[in-house]
Amino acid sequence: MNRLILFDVLRPGRNILLLDSRLILVIVLSLTGPLSVKVEAQSNSSKIKIPFELTRGRMYVQTFVNEQGPFRFLVDTGASGIGRADTSLVKDLGLRLAGTTQNFDGVSSSTVDTVTIASLRIGPLTQRNVQLISRNYNAGRSPESKIINGIIGDAFFANYLLTLDYKKQEIVLSKGALQASDAGVVRYDDSFVVPLRIGEFEAVGAFDTGSTLEMHLPIEWAKRLKIETLRDAGEGRRANTIFKLFSAELPVAVNIGGNKINRTAAHFSELAPNINIGGLFLANNRCVITFDQKNRLIKIRCSEK
Tens of pLDDT, residue by residue over 245-266, are 999 999 999 999 999 999 999 9
User: What pLDDT score was predicted for residue 170?
Assistant: 96
Verify that 283 and 199 share a domain, yes or no. yes
Alpha carbon distance 211, 269 (integer Å)? 14
**Greatest pairwise CA separation for the chain in angstroms:** 77
Say whether both 170 and 193 belong to one domain.
no
Report yes or no on 60 lying in a domain.
Answer: yes
- Could you say which of 174, 203, 237 is where a domain stops? 174
Average pLDDT in the chain: 83
Q: Structurally, how many domains does the chain consist of?
A: 2
Q: Are 157 and 60 part of one and the same domain?
A: yes
- Evaluate whether residue 168 is within a structural domain: yes
Distance separating alpha carbons of residues 147 and 137, to the nearest angstrom: 9
* 266 domain-assigned: yes
Same structural domain for residues 192 and 295? yes
Q: Is residue 43 part of a domain?
A: yes
List Cβ neighbours of 19 (8 Å cut-off, separation of 6 or more).
Answer: 26
Residue range of the domain that includes 255: 185-301
- Do both 195 and 77 map to the same domain? no
The model's confidence at residue 158, banded by pLDDT at 50, 70 and 90, is very high
Residue 179 lies in a domain: no
CA 278 to CA 210: how far, in whole Å? Answer: 7
Same domain for 158 and 51:
yes
Can you say how many angstroms the Cα of residue 39 is from the centroid of all Cα atoms in its chain?
A: 21
Q: What is the model's pLDDT at position 180?
A: 94
Task: Give Cβ neighbours of residue 217 (< 8 Å, ≥ 6 apart).
Answer: 266, 267, 268, 272, 275, 276
Quick one: 29 and 118 in the same domain? yes
Check whether residue 149 and residue 240 sit in a common domain: no
Tell which wins on pLDDT, 191 or 305.
191
Residues 95-124 have pLDDT tens digits of 989 888 877 666 667 788 999 999 999 999
pLDDT for res 273:
85
- Residue scoring higher pLDDT (272 or 195): 195
CB 52, CB 46: distance < 8 Å? no
Which comes out higher in pLDDT, residue 103 or 285?
A: 285
Q: What number is the average pLDDT over the span 169-198?
A: 94
Mean pLDDT over 239-248 rounds to 82
Question: CA gyration radius for the chain?
Answer: 21
Give how far Cα 81 sits from Cα of 75, 157, 191, 265, 269, Å. Answer: 12, 10, 11, 30, 27
Question: Are 71 and 149 within 8 A, CB to CB?
Answer: yes
Domain membership of residue 196 (yes or no) is: yes
The reply to whether 218 and 149 lie within a common domain is no
CATH code assigned at 248:
2.40.70.10
pLDDT at 240: 62
Tell whether 12 and 158 lie within a shared domain. yes
pLDDT of residue 38: 39
Out of 143, 174, 205, a domain closes at 174
Kindly give, in sequence order, each residue whose CB lies less than 8 Å from that of residue 106, ignoring residues fewer than 6 positions away: 238, 273, 274
- C-beta separation of 248 from 199 below 8 A: no
Is the pLDDT assigned to residue 168 strictly greater than 90? yes
Q: What is the pLDDT of residue 239?
A: 63
Regarding whether 120 and 39 lie in a shared domain, the answer is yes
- 212 found inside a domain: yes
Q: Which of 127, 142, 174 is the last residue of a domain?
A: 174
DSSP state of 286: T
pLDDT recorded at residue 235: 82
Containing 174, the helix (H) or strand (E) segment is strand 170-174
Taking Cα atoms as reference points, which of 245, 250, 264, 268 lies closest to residue 302?
Answer: 264
Tell whether the model's pLDDT for residue 224 goes beyond 50.
Answer: yes
| Within a domain: 180 | no
86 and 110 together in one domain: yes
pLDDT grade, residue 204 (50/70/90)?
very high
CB contact at 8 A, 160 and 178: no
pTM of the entire predicted model: 0.81
The lowest-confidence range among 15-24, 215-224, 281-290 is 15-24
